């Protein structure tokens, strides 16, 4: 079971790091509203520009802590809990701008994976 949880942690962390570090300025079918990049997505949600960097920084730190949790187990559950809160917020933002449910699926999937890490 530990191996499965560790694999889930790695998948979550690499997914978050991919979105926030590699795909930040790129198009994605999952972006909210008609946004073409992360800045436009946060604007579509009606969030202030500073919030983009606060959320991004927090998610990157939590993803790194989740990775560290593979070797330092005490880091895993708090990091997964924090990311679960952010993913719930992401789903709420998609609902706010009336996106099709398809656009919420990645956030929902990561939310569920985070809950698995937290609860098991």
Confidence of residue 22 (pLDDT cuts 50, 70, 90): very high
CA 53 to chain centre: 14
- Give mean pLDDT, residues 52-66: 98
Please state the domain count of the chain.
1
In which domain, by residue range, is 71 found?
2-22+35-119
52 lies in a domain?
yes
| pTM more than 0.75 | yes
């Amino acid at each position: 079971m530990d191996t499965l949880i560790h694999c889930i942690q790695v998948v979550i962390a690499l997914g978050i790091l991919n979105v926030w570090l590699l795909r930040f300025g790129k198009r994605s079918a999952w972006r909210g509203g008609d946004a073409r990049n992360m800045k436009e997505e946060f604007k579509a949600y009606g969030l202030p520009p500073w919030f983009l960097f606060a959320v991004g920084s927090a998610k990157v730190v939590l993803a790194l802590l989740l990775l560290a949790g593979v070797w330092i187990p005490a880091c895993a559950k708090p990091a997964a809990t924090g990311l679960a809160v952010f993913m719930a917020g992401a789903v709420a933002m998609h609902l706010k701008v009336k996106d099709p449910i398809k656009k919420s699926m990645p956030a929902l999937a990561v939310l569920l994976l985070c809950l698995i890490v937290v609860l098991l």
